[in-house]
C-alpha cells in the first residue's frame, strides 16, 4: 500500500536539478522528463522513482515470463528497462558482439518513493514503510543547494573511438544493400558505436548538459548501481492507457539550420523526401503488423502518417499508430508481441535482426532497447533508447551509438553523415564532461 500526498509546486529547471541531485543518494533512480512537449498521449510532465523495495534483474532467457510474473505479483509502480537483446527471448536469435557496458538484459524495480509532476503540482506516492519520511524528504529537496555544475571541463579531454571505421562502415552498408538487392530484406537499421575506455564522467552533470541542448520529449536519467543511461530520446516505443495502445515510430531525419528561412526549407525538404517517407511508411506498416498480433480485430489505425516534428538538434518524421486491446492481454504480453521496436530493426523483422547481428561490431545492449514504467493498474509507457549516453562507472566505459535505416535508395556517404549528425549532441557532452 502507498501513502499519497499532493503538494503545490511549479515544475521548473531549478526543482528538476534539486530533485535529481537529492536522488543521487540512492542505488536505483529513474527520472523521466517530457521537457514541456505537449505530447497528445502523455500523462505526466515528469516522474521520479527511487530506492528499490523489490527488483528483478535477469538475462534474456525467459525474460518476458519473469517480468510478467513480477508485474502481475506486485501490481505496483515498476520502473526499468529492456535491452535490445531481450529479442533473444522472442525469437531464436543471439547477441555475440563485443559488449563494453555489461548491462543486465532486463532490470525493473518497485520503488519505495515515486514523484509525479504536473505543471503546478507534485504528487508523492510512498510505500507505507517509508511514508513517515515524505515531509522530511520534500523539505530536504527544497533546501538542496545547487553549485554551478562544471559541464564543460576539458581538463582531461575524452578520446572518442569508433568501433566501426569509416571504410568498414561503407563496406558493411554496401553488404546490407546487397541483401536488399537479393530480396532478403527491404529495410534494416544499421548502427555503430562511439566509445571511450578508461574514462570517468559525471553522470548527472552530463545528463543536465545533454538535456539542455536537446530538450527531448522522452528524456531519461537512469541509475542502477554502477550502470547509467543518460537519454535524450525523441521517440516513444509503446504506451498503454486502458484498452488503448499507441506506438510512435521515427524514421526520417533532417538537420536544423540557424537561419529560420533555411530551417523551414529543411522541413519542406524532409516532408517531400521520397526516400525518408518510404522509410517511415515501411516501418509504420511493420508496427501495424506487430500491433495486429494483440489488437482487437479491425482496431489498428494510423492516427498520423509522416508528421514532421522539430527538436533542438534535428527535424524528425514521426507516425502514430494505435489500436485497442482486450483486457485479457497482459501488459507484458503486449510488449513481447511488439518487441523490439520496428524503427530499430527493419523489415522483415527477423531477417533484418539476423543481418544486423552479423554486420554490426558492438552488442547493442540498452541502446535501441526501451526505458519506462508500469502503473499499478498495468498501464505503461516506454521510450526508445536512442540519442543516449550509456556509462558503466565500475568499468569506466562510456558509449553512445547511432544508426539509420538502410533501404535500396540509401547512399552510404549520406547515411554516414546522418550518423554524425545524430551523434553531435552526445559527442559534445562526452567531450565536455570528462573528470
Q: Angle between the 166-182 and 412-431 helix axes, to the nearest 10 degrees?
A: 140
What count of other Cβ atoms lies within 10 Å of the Cβ of residue 298?
9
The catalytic residue among 28, 187, 235, 279 is: 235
Q: Are 325 and 63 in contact (CB under 8 A)?
A: no
Distance, in Å, from the CA atom of 131 to the CA atom of 133, rounded to the nearest integer, reads 5
Residue 154 pairs with which residues in a beta bridge? none
Distance, in Å, from the CA atom of 105 to the CA atom of 109, rounded to the nearest integer, reads 14
Cell numbers given for 210? 545533454
Which residues fall within 8 angstroms of residue 103, CB to CB, at 6 or more apart? 81, 83, 227, 365, 366, 390, 392
Phi, psi of 49 (to 5 degrees): -130, 130
Distance, in Å, from the CA atom of 167 to the CA atom of 89, rounded to the nearest integer, reads 34
Closest residue by Cα to residue 139 from 289, 305, 9? 9
What are the CA-CA distances from residue 425 to residues 70, 188, 314, 316, 412 (Å)?
Answer: 36, 24, 10, 15, 22
Instruction: Give helix then strand counts, H and E, for the chain.
Output: 11, 20
Burial tier of 268 (Cβ tally within 10 Å: 0-12, 13-18, 19+)? exposed
The catalytic residue among 87, 251, 336, 354 is: 251
Known active-site residue 235:
yes
Closest residue by Cα to residue 332 from 287, 289, 372, 390? 372
What count of other Cβ atoms lies within 10 Å of the Cβ of residue 113?
22
Known active-site residue 87:
no
Q: Angle between the 331-338 and 63-74 helix axes, to the nearest 10 degrees?
A: 160
SS3 53: strand
Distance, in Å, from the CA atom of 139 to the CA atom of 124, rounded to the nearest integer, reads 13
List the catalytic residues: 235, 251
Amino acid at each position: 500500500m502507498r501513502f499519497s500526498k499532493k503538494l503545490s509546486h511549479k515544475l521548473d529547471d531549478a526543482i528538476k536539478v534539486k530533485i535529481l541531485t537529492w536522488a543521487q543518494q540512492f542505488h536505483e533512480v529513474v527520472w523521466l522528463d517530457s521537457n514541456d512537449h505537449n505530447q497528445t498521449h502523455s500523462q505526466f510532465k515528469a516522474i521520479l522513482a527511487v530506492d528499490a523495495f523489490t527488483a528483478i534483474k535477469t538475462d534474456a532467457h525467459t525474460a518476458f515470463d519473469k517480468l510478467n510474473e513480477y508485474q502481475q505479483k506486485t501490481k505496483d509502480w515498476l520502473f526499468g528497462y529492456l535491452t535490445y537483446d531481450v529479442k533473444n527471448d522472442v525469437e531464436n536469435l543471439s547477441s555475440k558482439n563485443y559488449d563494453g557496458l555489461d548491462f543486465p538484459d532486463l532490470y525493473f524495480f518497485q520503488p519505495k518513493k515515486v514523484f509525479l509532476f504536473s505543471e503546478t503540482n507534485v504528487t508523492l506516492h510512498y510505500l507505507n514503510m517509508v511514508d513517515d519520511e515524505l515531509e522530511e524528504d520534500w523539505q530536504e529537496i527544497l533546501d538542496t543547494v545547487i553549485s554551478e555544475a562544471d559541464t564543460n571541463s576539458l581538463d582531461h579531454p575524452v578520446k572518442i573511438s569508433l568501433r566501426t571505421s569509416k571504410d568498414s562502415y561503407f563496406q558493411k552498408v554496401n553488404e546490407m544493400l546487397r541483401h536488399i538487392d537479393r530480396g532478403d530484406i527491404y529495410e534494416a537499421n544499421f548502427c555503430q558505436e562511439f566509445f571511450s575506455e578508461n574514462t570517468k564522467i559525471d553522470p548527472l552533470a552530463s545528463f543536465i548538459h545533454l538535456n539542455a541542448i536537446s530538450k527531448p520529449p522522452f528524456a531519461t536519467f537512469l541509475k542502477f548501481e554502477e550502470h547509467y543511461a543518460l537519454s535524450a530520446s525523441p521517440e516513444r516505443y509503446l504506451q498503454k492507457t486502458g484498452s488503448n495502445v499507441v506506438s510512435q515510430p521515427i524514421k526520417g531525419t533532417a538537420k536544423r539550420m540557424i537561419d529560420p528561412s533555411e530551417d523551414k526549407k529543411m522541413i519542406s525538404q524532409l516532408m517531400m523526401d521520397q526516400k525518408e517517407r518510404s522509410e517511415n511508411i515501411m516501418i509504420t506498416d511493420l508496427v501495424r503488423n506487430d500491433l495486429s498480433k494483440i489488437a482487437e480485430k479491425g482496431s489498428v489505425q494510423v492516427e498520423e502518417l509522416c508528421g514532421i516534428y522539430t527538436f533542438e538538434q534535428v527535424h524528425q518524421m514521426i507516425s502514430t499508430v494505435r489500436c485497442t486491446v482486450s483486457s485479457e492481454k497482459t501488459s507484458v504480453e503486449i510488449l513481447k508481441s511488439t518487441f523490439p521496436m520496428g524503427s530499430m530493426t527493419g523489415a522483415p523483422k527477423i531477417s533484418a535482426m539476423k543481418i544486423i547481428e552479423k554486420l554490426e561490431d558492438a552488442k547493442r545492449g540498452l541502446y535501441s532497447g526501451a526505458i519506462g514504467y508500469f502503473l499499478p493498474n498495468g498501464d505503461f509507457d516506454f521510450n526508445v533508447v536512442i540519442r543516449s549516453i550509456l556509462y558503466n562507472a565500475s568499468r569506466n566505459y562510456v558509449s553512445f551509438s547511432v544508426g539509420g535505416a538502410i533501404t535500396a535508395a540509401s547512399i552510404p556517404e549520406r547515411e554516414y553523415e546522418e550518423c554524425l549528425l545524430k551523434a553531435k549532441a552526445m559527442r559534445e557532452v562526452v567531450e565536455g564532461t570528462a573528470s
